[in-house]
Structure 1
């Protein structure tokens, strides 16, 4: 861990923010977990390999940025942060998401792109306030059952995986505006995709590998 790090949080409108990004950290200083009024914690762009027990003390935390580290898992303790709204864990080595993620009922944005995920647990689909789900650049072959429960979802990023089909539940996401499914193994889209009336951007592989009939009326959305 870096020799000396300033652990004094900044206060903005009475909310405490702590930015420890780009500090050469290999772990989060234990003292951070004593700042129980923290609302936002940024430890991105470090060399952190695990999140220690103690993080569950930060019960007021709304935003946690842990991207660009060397994490292999999301610990159970993190899932007890009931006020968390934004979690960005992009570009780590995470291979699983714990089922206890369902406890994060206030979560609006979940970024977990560029990791080693082979599946997304069905419990993610219980996060009814989710507006953005990013699971691109992983090793996924399927999406979980229950996608239809994410009725507030606006953006879905699943590009650069090995997904062979998009579940029918995605077609009932009436608020979905962006669907990026580039570079997968899709042969067609589910019937009912025309129900996505708010869809503004649909990204698919060049069109050749996707059955044109299944995307009738949607090709104008590709960009």
Structure 2
């Protein structure tokens, strides 16, 4: 710890970024008070129970992470950090979010950890917000007033496991509210306890990134494939049985993650039947699906692919045409019962590709 503080002291007149995450701190080091040029401070994962007012008075402070500490509430002095653009903190214990947040007119990204006990009306005055992330908020929905956050581009809601009876999220209601936001492009319900994708997901036609990783999803509804502007779709670590034929509708997709859908092993036939339609796909993640993926000869026509990963499956043979996929930057085929001769031939043919066998 001493070496970190010594470095800060030596650079206190010029230092712009301070990272003291997970350093077992019980209080904010006084030396930070002298860092008048600092723009970003990370104090996450310590044992700090109080933030001194002077921290919020640092004239150039734009990013502040004080999450995962021992504070019971956010200090009212937060209003002094008028240029703050990023804030991450723990929700107050058994109190609504502080009204003082509304004074942070330049705030663009807000990250809140732990249970949220209510949203004051003032919260929805944060109209400069572009990104919101809630981690384990223990909420079942979000207020209709979220529609006031007209500049919101990205929304994350992760409901990690916690003690006691879990309150399931009403995803249909959340999506209904989010559908009123004109600029929303990125949505993440990763590890949120979603067992099925609501049909009204198609009310978010402007989505470019959708992350549903780590849920209990088994079936992909046709409405999902109406999101034709999607560039990234993460469906990894679910229980998806099959990829529907409608996957071909996502012609703008650049990254598709279907990894770890192994119970039951996912059926990928419709995906490989859509090589022609998915002409923008660059990154395909199929690792740990425990399935006998039958790669078609026409996979060579997937000229857009830069990264292909089907590690830890039951692939027995590689199509001869794969030797012509010289556009690949990375190919991982390890932990499959593929004959050594086939693997060696592929490595030799794809000299410009990082092949992991």
TM bracket (short chain): 0.7 to 0.9
For 2:231 and 2:269, the matched residues in 1 are separated by 18
1:35 aligns with 2:145: no
* Greater relative contact order, per chain length (Cα 8 Å cut-off, separation 6+): 1
1:75 aligns with 2:184: no
- What residue ranges of structure 2 are gaps of 5+ in the alignment? 1-91, 162-167, 333-355
Alpha carbons of 1:102 and 1:170: their partners in 2 closer, same or farther (altered >3 Å)?
farther
4+ residue segments displaced more than 6 Å: none
- What residue ranges of structure 1 are gaps of 5+ in the alignment? none
Q: CA deviation at 1:221?
A: 2.5
What is aligned with 2:244? 144
What is aligned with 1:133? 233
Structure with more of its chain in helix, by fraction: 2
- Give TM-score scaled by structure 1 length: 0.82
Of structures 1 and 2, the larger Rg is shown by 2
For 1:36 and 1:141, the matched residues in 2 are separated by 42
1:202 aligns with 2:312: no
Q: Deviations over 1:89-129 (max 9, x none)?
A: 11111111111111211100001100111112111111111
1:180 aligns with 2:285: yes
Q: Deviations over 1:70-105 (max 9, x none)?
A: 654422413444431000111111111111111211
What is aligned with 1:91? 191
For the aligned residue pairs, the C-alpha RMSD in angstroms reads 2.9
What is aligned with 1:105? 205
Q: CA deviation at 1:152?
A: 1.2
For 2:170 and 2:255, the matched residues in 1 are separated by 24
For 2:111 and 2:314, the matched residues in 1 are separated by 45
Q: Deviations over 1:23-80 (max 9, x none)?
A: x224552537733735434242223241135145545422101124465442241344
- Give TM-score scaled by structure 2 length: 0.54
Please tell me whether the aligned partners of residues 110 and 129 of structure 2 are also in contact (alpha carbons under 8 angstroms): no
Q: CA deviation at 1:193?
A: 2.1
For 1:98 and 1:33, the matched residues in 2 are separated by 27
What is aligned with 1:122? 222
Say how many residue pairs are matched: 219
For 1:32 and 1:94, the matched residues in 2 are separated by 30
**Of 107, 132, 152, which aligns to 1:61?**
152
For 1:69 and 1:194, the matched residues in 2 are separated by 40
Alpha carbons of 1:83 and 1:145: their partners in 2 closer, same or farther (altered >3 Å)?
farther
Once structures 1 and 2 are overlaid, which stretch shifts more, 203-212 or 104-113?
203-212
Q: Deviations over 1:159-194 (max 9, x none)?
A: 000312242125521111110011112431345322
For 2:199 and 2:320, the matched residues in 1 are separated by 33
Alpha carbons of 1:147 and 1:137: their partners in 2 closer, same or farther (altered >3 Å)?
same
